A and B are shown apart, each in its own frame.
Chain A
Amino acid sequence: MSRISRRNLITTGLAATAGASGLAAAAKLARRYGLIPPDGGGLYGPGETLTYAAQRLLTRHSMAREFNPSQVSKPPFANAVAPLGEAFQRLRERAFSDWRLTVDGMVARPASFSLGELKSFPRRTQTTHLACEEGWSYIAQWTGVPLSHILDVVGTLPQARYVVYRSFQADWWESIDMADALHPQTLVTHGMNGGELPVAFGGPLRLRVPRQLGYKSVKYITHLTITDSLKRFCKGLGSAAPEAGYAWYAGI
């Protein structure tokens, strides 16, 4: 015990004070620059915040790896989905001609697009990797409208910070920040491997976010809401994933 000297106490005290004020300053800066994820509170908040902040500082504009068409997985693996129900079947029978993608929230011109309209928009085709948080993965060629184009068409307001997207499957909803929403590889996808996007892979419409794990690429999307805050959406954690115990940011 004799080892605890006054000098040690003073040094420790000063170090602790410096550390605490350093953390407070870092937290303030992180909030100001949007580096705190919506699930940044709670037990795992520090780790999530470090991951998301580090990613946003290092990878904001980086491009997901694209592969040669020869590397496309044959056959790709379609993860199981809950039964889609009769309403979906009726839409499917009419070749999804009645499928709508509604866009609202902080936009100058809220809109609702048919599948045909979306297919007439400029398209991008890219061969990217899709990795599931379980550990498996496949490569496929995806075709779709860059989400940034749709955001241009509806006139996103400058205060927009997130895009919330909802699925035909009522309990699936997700959101991404503007860095991912405006990223050129984030596609409202309607085609896969040269054909229509199969239902098993999310057809008729899937939002592909290739810089994040598969669960952020929600199938059967019907609704986009542009917002400046995620607090108003359900529990305020940003998406269905944290409500089910998974991280909101899945770029890891």
Chain B
Amino acid sequence: MADSVWDPTPASLVLATTVRSRHSAVVRITHWITTLSFLALLVTGVEILISHPRFYWGETGNVLTPPLFKLPIPASRSTVPTGYGYVLPDQNGWSRYLHFQSAWVAVLTGLLYVVFGLLSGHFRRHLLPARADLSWKGLSTVISRHLRFRPASGEESWSYNVLQRLTYLQVIFVLFPLVIWTGLAMSPAVVSAFPAAVAVLGGQQSARTIHFFVSVLLVLFLLVHVVMVCLTGFRNRMRAMITGRPAADREHV
């Protein structure tokens, strides 16, 4: 149904299936490994969070300290006053094991992706916006097209528009580094070797609070990303990210 929204012209289709790949193999593989590890990080992160759904600023914080804010949810530990008369099942053990293992997978995959992106010109060609697109006119054109749900034309759908480029760059070079940094800043051993990593954030509880907010932003990105994939042709977009070639069902035409 939604496929028709962005269908390339037959000419570009032929070109597509014979010459071009929408996404390179490294991008596709790292994309899906990151997807899996991010989902694992998200589920286990929520499990870890519910053992103490209160947030603080500075070095220390506990139930005797006024929180910066608290989430209106029950907790998995009886020591936290939540106002709920019950305690959720405690899943912290395996959640922590899986959280850190998934973090390793995500970080190593991310490193591979960033090295590839720099060496292959992926960032330069696909993600760095053209200077002209960064003008008010360029930006407003794209934004108004989004607001009116105008589909991208055939050739445009082979590359990212300026909004996509800016978003992906921020996710890759701002949000992910920040979530890794704030995660490491909660580690007592890491900060013993690199105390500045937590000092500049204002303390370990500040690191935990920032970690939470950056995770929320990453989840927001994920939601918008999935919605956009659905709106612009779920089957084609998925095919492009799995096989590298959109519209593969018409390959033999």
Report the bound CA distance from A122 to B192 in whole Å: 24
Interface contact A65-B192, CB-CB below 8 Å: yes
A55 at the interface (CB under 8 A from B): yes
Interface contact A211-B188, CB-CB below 8 Å: yes
Interface contact A51-B193, CB-CB below 8 Å: no
Interface contact B104-A63, CB-CB below 8 Å: no
Interface contact B61-A137, CB-CB below 8 Å: yes
Report the bound CA distance from A62 to B104 in whole Å: 22
Known: A64-B192, A65-B192. A47 touches B104 (CB 8 A): yes
Interface contact A79-B189, CB-CB below 8 Å: no
Can you list, as one digit per residue, whether each of B87-99 has a CB less than 8 Å from chain A (1) or not (0)?
Answer: 0000011101110
Interface contact B96-A247, CB-CB below 8 Å: yes
A202 at the interface (CB under 8 A from B): no
Report the bound CA distance from A6 to B65 in whole Å: 65
Interface contact B104-A51, CB-CB below 8 Å: yes
Can you list, as one digit per residue, whether each of B192-205 has a CB less than 8 Å from chain A (1) or not (0)?
Answer: 11010010000011
List B residues 189-245 near A (Cβ within 8 Å). 189-193, 195, 198, 204-205, 208
B153 at the interface (CB under 8 A from A): no
A146: min CB distance to chain B, Å: 16
B212: min CB distance to chain A, Å: 10
A209: min CB distance to chain B, Å: 9
Interface contact A211-B189, CB-CB below 8 Å: yes
Interface contact A137-B59, CB-CB below 8 Å: yes
Report the bound CA distance from A80 to B80 in whole Å: 11
Report the bound CA distance from A85 to B177 in whole Å: 49
Known: A211-B188, A251-B187. A51 touches B59 (CB 8 A): no
A66: min CB distance to chain B, Å: 10
Cβ-neighbour of A134 out of B51, B101, B186 (below 8 A)? B51
Name the CB-closest residue of B to A249. B189
B60 at the interface (CB under 8 A from A): yes
A144 at the interface (CB under 8 A from B): no
Report the bound CA distance from A247 to B79 in whole Å: 21
Known: A73-B62, A139-B59. A47 touches B187 (CB 8 A): no
List B residues 30-84 near A (Cβ within 8 Å). 48-49, 51-52, 54, 59-65, 77-80
Cβ-neighbour of A137 out of B62, B97, B98, B190 (below 8 A)? B62
- A62-B193, A79-B79 known, 18 other contacts, Cβ within 8 Å: A43-B97, A48-B97, A51-B100, A63-B192, A65-B191, A65-B192, A76-B64, A77-B64, A133-B96, A135-B51, A135-B52, A136-B54, A138-B62, A139-B60, A210-B192, A213-B188, A251-B190, A252-B186
Residues of chain B whose beta carbon lies under 8 Å from any beta carbon of chain A: 48-49, 51-52, 54, 59-65, 77-80, 92-94, 96-98, 100-105, 186-193, 195, 198, 204-205, 208
19 contacting pairs across A/B (C-beta < 8 A): A44-B98, A47-B98, A59-B192, A62-B192, A62-B193, A64-B188, A73-B64, A77-B64, A129-B60, A134-B52, A134-B92, A137-B205, A139-B59, A139-B60, A211-B189, A213-B188, A246-B97, A252-B188, A252-B189
